[in-house]
Structure 1
């Protein structure tokens, strides 16, 4: 029995010693896990870099607008009347001289008949006055011969001459009446002729401003016409973009009506004053190649190249760091991150022009810069050669 107790006592002591020894071993061998900063300092912060080289650099302005015609007309009836027909519809193309509308000429034709009757009356009156004038002239001649023969007095000759002068005046007045009546006929005939309203130039009908059967006064527009040969793209610019835009600059244009296609253009001119409602300035772009089906009113998206330079150093915008009002980038030199102040210029297409602070061939961090500090070790995970 004593032997058994001794064995149990010895086993308990051994177990206690094993437990205490294990605790002591764990305390002695435990080490805390290193922090992220410690790991980065030892292994280097993983970054992506780009090697900058001189390259071409362009800046752009984006604008929207619509297609317009340089030659648009509001076609009107010169003499007025009731509209009989519109042979063409909105959106139809017409050639110069083609009929756009016709007006009722019934009243004009009645006026022409009346005017022709007045001409006939005036001509008969003029013929009678001519005969009277001729008779008076013969009478003057006869009186002058009799006076020369001393048959009549000089006073009778003077009376004959006065009768002749009166006949001449009546004849001239009758001739003027004939001319006035003929002019009236010509005016009515011109009105009849112009009751057929024709296109002043080839183009497309944009809108109708009157209906068949409507009586329109002289000079009132009845439809609009746009010249398809003189189409431009009118885009809207805010005033702060004006100093950067000038005639002759290149541009690209896209239309919703022609998806997937891009067209080249150039700046033709810029409006001198803004639109009073939008306060935007209108710039006209001339297309170098005009797509088939282009017409006024189509929506336009344009990109104007305001500057194009060669040999420019540029970095992606995400490479920039702003610290205490200073713009800088992180460069990588001998495995270390170096905070390098830079002077920047214009931005374009996700890139920023570097005017000073960097040299060609330097490596600039474009990803991972959030974890960088001056002098920290870096591990280049990915490098891009050039932008």
Structure 2
């Protein structure tokens, strides 16, 4: 500030006796400005201090998980309708009933089907009789044919008579084939009628439990492509599936066999183990968000989990047993850039454009080094990042040990 004062003094002295009042005012204002600016910069530079936020380097295990939501479902679930049209005359089970394979659940009126079975049985009996009749005729004609053939060789029978006998014999053989074919058709129709009679009783196809029931006595059931679901059965609920939606950004880390734990709202604070059994390739798009279905197997021996429960799963995709661990903020930290002394001028120009003080823009962190505070001074140490859970990262570094204080942020106090 001495050079500026000298310049002003010379300006004042150079005016001599011709000094005017406006020059005196300008000189006084300049002196006051110089004094105020000098005081401000001296105070600013003297009280600015930098403090660092640090975190200790730890050593231990790190588990990386992917979070997904889904629902608990039975391993096997079957919707039952009726193959026949008719009226329900009996319903034998209700909600939550345990059933065994082949057990009767409901029964249709079987009056018509029983009559159809009786009709088919009569047709089979008639067809068998026709086969017997045709075979007897064929046997008779065969004997007649043999005799006619011998006589024809001896020249006793006319050739015309032998041709007639031969044709009759062949017709009787064909009649046997026709009768046997008719018997096959009749037997097939009997099987169809018996199948319809059997299907008039709706039976459980699996061992399990009744999840839902819409069947009522007197209800008319129509067999069609849109036949109503009468029963929904679930398999053994001691083993269940958890079907979750995996975001496409995480699907590359998910694999069959990954261990997982999940929670449900019904039992807060309790987690259940699971394992991925299948990761499906088919995408599912909802509101332009692509996900992939993963199926996890769940043991449910106590029956606490119920079909349809919403679950939040944490799937373990990677783990580190023993490694140095630092917070991710340490990899994102970089100290502010230091302004060069040439940025600020001297004299009046220096007052107008002073040099930059602490708290300037930060350098760009590359994620491959950290700053460690040692004896109050930041020291840069290269590291090799490994697995991360989003908050912490496992690293390897030669110049870093457990307990070192890595810098995560800083603040400037005036």
TM-score by length of 2: 0.67
Per-residue deviation, 1:366: 8.1
Cα distance per residue 1:172-230 (max 9 Å; x no partner)? 32232223222211210122123223222223334457655232316746343333365
Task: Please name the residue that 1:4 is paired with.
Answer: none
2:255 matches 1:246: yes
Q: Quick one: which of 225, 229, 232 aligns to 1:224?
A: 232
Matches within 5 A, 1:368-387: 371=411
Task: Please name the residue that 1:197 is paired with.
Answer: 202
Q: Quick one: which of 321, 330, 340 aligns to 1:310?
A: 321
2:206 matches 1:165: no
Cα distance per residue 1:139-198 (max 9 Å; x no partner)? 334444655665432322332222222222223322322232222112101221232232
Per-residue deviation, 1:360: 0.8
User: What SS does structure 2 have at the residue aligned with 1:247?
Assistant: coil
CA distance in 1, matches of 2:399, 2:201: 74
Higher relative contact order (CA 8 A, sep 6+): 1
What 5-or-longer segments of structure 2 have no aligned partner?
Answer: 1-42, 335-361
CA distance in 2, matches of 1:61, 1:67: 18
CA distance in 2, matches of 1:60, 1:97: 44
Answer yes or no: is the 8 Å Cα contact 2:246–2:292 preserved in 1. Answer: yes
Answer yes or no: is the 8 Å Cα contact 2:263–2:311 preserved in 1. Answer: yes
**Alpha carbons of structure 1 residues 247 and 182: separation in structure 2 relative to 1, 3 Å:** closer
Per-residue deviation, 1:302: 0.8
Task: Please name the residue that 1:237 is paired with.
Answer: 246
Cα distance per residue 1:292-336 (max 9 Å; x no partner)? 2434322111111222113332234576646343378774433x2
Per-residue deviation, 1:272: 0.9
After superposing the two structures, state which structure 1 stretch, 95-104 or 75-84, moved more. Answer: 75-84
Q: Quick one: which of 264, 277, 301 aligns to 1:268?
A: 277
2:185 matches 1:180: yes
Answer yes or no: is the 8 Å Cα contact 1:74–1:221 preserved in 2. Answer: no
Answer yes or no: is the 8 Å Cα contact 2:259–2:315 preserved in 1. Answer: yes
CA distance in 1, matches of 2:62, 2:271: 21
User: What SS does structure 2 have at the residue aligned with 1:108?
Assistant: helix
CA distance in 2, matches of 1:90, 1:170: 58
Answer yes or no: is the 8 Å Cα contact 1:73–1:226 preserved in 2. Answer: yes
**Alpha carbons of structure 1 residues 303 and 163: separation in structure 2 relative to 1, 3 Å:** same
CA distance in 2, matches of 1:290, 1:341: 52
Task: Please name the residue that 1:285 is paired with.
Answer: 296
CA distance in 2, matches of 1:158, 1:371: 123
**Alpha carbons of structure 1 residues 339 and 290: separation in structure 2 relative to 1, 3 Å:** farther
TM-score by length of 1: 0.71
After superposing the two structures, state which structure 1 stretch, 52-61 or 347-356, moved more. Answer: 347-356
User: What SS does structure 1 have at the residue aligned with 2:180?
Assistant: helix
Answer yes or no: is the 8 Å Cα contact 1:337–1:372 preserved in 2. Answer: no
Task: Please name the residue that 1:21 is paired with.
Answer: none
2:103 matches 1:98: yes
User: What SS does structure 1 have at the residue aligned with 2:285?
Assistant: coil
**Alpha carbons of structure 1 residues 129 and 352: separation in structure 2 relative to 1, 3 Å:** closer
Matches within 5 A, 1:55-94: 55-94=60-99
Per-residue deviation, 1:350: 4.2
When the two chains are superposed, the root-mean-square deviation of aligned CA atoms in Å is 3.8
Answer yes or no: is the 8 Å Cα contact 1:49–1:363 preserved in 2. Answer: no
Answer yes or no: is the 8 Å Cα contact 2:56–2:326 preserved in 1. Answer: no
Task: Please name the residue that 2:358 is paired with.
Answer: none
Task: Please name the residue that 2:392 is paired with.
Answer: 351
CA distance in 1, matches of 2:382, 2:105: 66
Where in structure 1 do 4 or more consecutive aligned residues deviate above 6 Å?
37-41, 327-330
Q: Quick one: which of 257, 264, 276 aligns to 1:255?
A: 264
Task: Please name the residue that 1:360 is paired with.
Answer: 401
